[in-house]
Structure formats: structure tokens, C-alpha cells
């Protein structure tokens, strides 16, 4: 379906914002430049209120409709932070900061919500209040929770909340979502192994933490292959193995780090219990000391049924009936928008990014062609949810 020309006309500015943010990536809560740009633009758009400093560096804009009195209020959320990845796209606007890049498209998410905010502030074709939420620290810092803890929902009267994320390999102009679990819970663990170091020529005089670590890595896979119900989703990934500094010394210590991803609460608890039992059991068998630090991370992202239907209806008005996937498979990646969906009813939807590199890939780039579709979705959502 054709994009509203008024929204299409905002694409050039949204592209400029997006590429500026892309050139200046910031991590976690240290998004001062990006938050400053967002706050400056929201004030220039004429938002009725612009609040800064929620969740340390989050920004909120408030836009009241002009179609009569209404107490209805919805929140629209975008994330602003980048990742500690070195960009390899060689684009003219690639990251200007070594070791940091927007590899998940949060630059595009911010630009789309900024563009929609400008349109909504100009037209105000709704009754009630739209609250635009720009949050820090989605990439592991739980910025959504920090904003909620600062009173986001109560202060601005948010009754329902909606999110959007780009999706590589989904065509530009298409959307995808589902009711119930959309994204997994993600918990982190660190396993510290303390053995007895010594000369590599005399392993019988040592207690080798590398051998213990290798056996723990292998044994942890039994959590999924022989412990969890095959019909439940569970992923255990050891992503770091640090030990030793040279080739002729058996080190004293080793450290393993990784994540556990699940959808069901029972599976999540089971995986934590078995991870600790297995790591300590292997350690005991090999005579090394093992400590496990298991940290609960983001909960499962669960879309609420009524709000999902509403999001689907809004997306269909933009993309057409055939370009909205309503039973998208759940994904094992995680999202701190889950905290917002625990605090208020709502839904997250995926917007197509086309044939691009995957998220968190150093060659990834947000597709600017998706900007008008994301902006249009936000506008349609507000004007439908807050119809007079």
C-alpha cells in the first residue's frame, strides 16, 4: 500500500538523523549525545512535554491529540544504544569510533520514532496522549527496567505500550509478530575454575583447569540434549573460555562465560539448577574448585493477545494483508522490552530490513528504505488506538 506522502516527505530527515546517530555510536547508558539529539528534536517538534534523565539517560516526549478530551494514553518505545563491535561496512557514514557500532539497528529505531513524533506533533489527529519513549541500555543493561523503576508508566499514565524492531531477511515493507512468547529469556553465567598450575611437562603434579573447563563445556550440552523436554526451547551457549597466557604452563585458573535462553519458567529454573550441578560435579571429579555465578537477565518477551491483534491491524493498513506475518516463529534472542510488557499490556512487532547482514554482525546496516514503513506504523497505531 502507498505510504502517506506527508510521512514519505519526512524520510530524508529521518535518514539524516539515522546516519548521524550511526556515525556516533554510544554504549549502554552512555548515550548522552544521542539522547541530547532526541530531546532537542522533540522540543523543536513542539511536544507538550520533553523529559530527560529517566533511567539515567532516557528521553520521553508527550504529545496530546486535538480531537477532544480523552484519558487514553499509549507508549511507543525505541532504543538508542549501540554495541561494542568494530564496524566493517566501509560505508560513508560508518562508525567514527573504533570498537563501537550500531549493529542492531537502534539508530533506525530512534530515527523512525523521531519521524513519527514530528508527524504526530504536527497533525495531532487523535484524542488522548501519545508518549514516545527513547530508552538507553537495551544491549544488556536493562534500560527499560531502569526507566520503569524511575516511574515511567505512572508518571506519564501509560496504559498500553508498543515496541518495534527491525528484522533482516524479512522484506522491506513487511511486518511480523505473534501472540504470546516472541523472544526468549536470557540469563548469563560465569564459571570460575581454580586448579593447581605448573609446568606443562608435569601435568601429574597439577590440577588442570583447562581440562576441567573443556569437560564442563561438553557436559553442559546435556542440559538441552538429555535434560530439557525436546518440545521446550532451551539454548546453552558457552561463549568465552579464558585460561593461561603461554604454551608451556598449565594455568592456575580458567573462566567460562555464556548464556542460557529459554521460554518457560520451569525450563529456566531447571537449566540454572543443572548448570550449577554439572559444573560443580565435573570439578569435583577432577579435583578442582568450581564457583558458578548465575545472573537472571531479561525475561521472556510475551505479546498480549488483544494488543497483538491491534498491532497486526495497524500493520496491515500500512503493508497490506499479505505482508504481515501473524504467526512468526519465536526467536531465541532476547529483548528488554520484556520488562515493559510485564508492566503494561502491549506488543512488539518486527519491521522488514530486507536482504541485509544479520543483527550483531560487523557488516550489518539498518536499511533506510524501511524508515517510511516504521514511521507509518507508529502513526497508524496512535491514530487507531486514540481515535476520537
Residue keyed to cell 580458567: 254
> Do 284 and 173 sit in the same domain of this protein?
no
Euclidean distance between CA atoms 98 and 16, whole angstroms: 21
Provide the domain limits for residue 361: 5-183+300-385
Q: What does residue 294 show for φ and ψ, rounded to 5 degrees?
A: -110, 120
pLDDT at residue 1, rounded to an integer: 62
**With pLDDT > 90 as the criterion, what percentage of the chain qualifies?**
97
> Do 64 and 204 sit in the same domain of this protein?
no
Q: Is the distance from CB of 183 to CB of 235 less than 8 angstroms?
A: no
Q: Where are the alpha helices (DSSP H) in the chain?
A: 5-8, 11-23, 32-45, 106-123, 143-149, 152-155, 209-220, 222, 265-286, 305-319, 337-343, 371-385
The CA-based diameter of the chain, rounded to the nearest angstrom, is 83
Task: Give me the CATH number covering residue 279.
Answer: 3.30.70.360
**With pLDDT > 70 as the criterion, what percentage of the chain qualifies?**
100
> Do 90 and 158 sit in the same domain of this protein?
yes
pTM of the model: 0.94
Angle among Cα 124, 161, 3 to the nearest 5 degrees reads 50
pLDDT digits 0-9 by tens, 23-53 = 999 999 999 999 999 999 999 999 999 999 9
Euclidean distance between CA atoms 5 and 131, whole angstroms: 24
Domain's final residue, options 248, 276, 298: 298
pLDDT at residue 68 tops 90: no
> Do 223 and 78 sit in the same domain of this protein?
no
pLDDT digits 0-9 by tens, 366-376 = 999 999 999 99
> Do 76 and 149 sit in the same domain of this protein?
yes
Task: Give me the CATH number covering residue 323.
Answer: 3.40.630.10
> Do 82 and 209 sit in the same domain of this protein?
no
Number of neighbours of residue 154 by Cβ within 10 angstroms: 10
> Do 321 and 365 sit in the same domain of this protein?
yes
Amino acid at each position: 500500500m502507498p505510504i502517506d506522502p506527508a510521512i514519505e516527505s519526512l524520510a530524508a530527515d529521518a535518514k539524516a538523523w539515522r546516519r548521524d546517530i550511526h556515525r556516533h555510536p554510544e554504549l549502554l547508558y552512555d548515550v548522552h549525545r544521542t539522547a541530547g539529539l532526541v530531546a532537542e528534536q522533540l522540543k523543536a517538534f513542539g511536544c507538550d512535554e520533553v523529559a530527560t534523565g529517566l533511567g539515567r539517560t532516557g528521553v520521553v516526549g508527550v504529545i496530546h491529540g486535538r480531537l477532544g478530551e480523552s484519558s487514553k494514553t499509549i507508549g511507543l518505545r525505541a532504543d538508542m544504544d549501540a554495541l561494542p563491535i568494530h564496524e566493517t561496512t566501509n560505508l560513508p557514514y560508518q562508525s567514527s569510533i573504533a570498537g563501537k557500532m550500531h549493529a542492531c539497528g537502534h539508530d533506525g529505531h530512534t530515527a523512525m520514532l523521531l519521524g513519527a513524533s514530528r508527524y504526530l506533533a504536527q497533525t495531532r489527529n487523535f484524542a488522548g496522549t501519545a508518549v514516545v519513549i527513547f530508552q538507553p541500555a537495551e544491549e544488556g543493561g536493562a534500560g527499560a527496567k531502569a526507566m520503569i523503576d524511575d516511574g515511567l508508566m505512572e508518571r506519564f499514565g501509560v496504559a498500553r505500550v508498543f515496541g518495534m524492531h527491525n528484522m533482516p531477511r524479512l522484506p522491506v515493507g513487511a511486518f511480523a509478530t505473534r501472540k504470546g512468547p516472541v523472544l526468549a529469556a536470557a540469563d548469563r553465567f560465569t564459571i570460575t575454575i581454580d586448579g593447581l598450575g605448573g609446568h606443562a611437562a608435569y601435568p601429574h603434579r597439577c590440577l588442570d583447569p583447562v581440562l576441567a573447563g573443556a569437560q564442563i563445556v561438553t557436559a553442559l550440552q546435556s542440559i538441552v540434549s538429555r535434560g530439557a523436554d525436546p518440545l521446550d526451547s532451551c539454548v546453552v551457549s558457552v561463549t568465552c573460555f579464558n585460561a593461561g597466557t603461554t604454551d608451556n604452563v598449565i594455568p592456575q585458573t580458567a573462566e567460562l562465560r555464556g548464556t542460557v535462553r529459554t521460554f518457560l519458567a520451569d525450563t529456566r529454573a531447571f537449566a540454572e539448577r543443572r548448570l550449577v550441578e554439572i559444573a560443580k560435579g565435573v570439578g569435583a571429579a577432577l579435583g578442582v574448585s568450581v564457583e558458578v555465578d548465575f545472573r537472571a537477565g531479561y525475561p521472556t518477551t510475551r505479546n498480549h493477545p488483544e494488543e497483538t491483534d491491534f498491532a497486526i491491524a495497524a500493520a496491515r493498513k500500512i503493508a497490506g494483508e499479505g505482508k504481515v506475518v501473524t504467526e512468526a516463529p519465536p526467536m531465541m534472542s532476547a529483548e528488554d522490552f520484556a520488562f515493559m510488557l510485564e508492566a503494561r499490556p502491549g506488543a512488539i512487532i518486527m519491521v522488514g530490513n530486507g536482504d541485509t547482514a544479520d543483527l550483531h554482525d560487523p557488516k550489518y546496516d539498518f536499511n533506510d528504505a524501511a524508515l517510511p514503513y516504521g514511521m507509518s506504523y507508529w502513526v497508524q497505531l496512535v491514530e487507531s488506538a486514540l481515535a476520537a
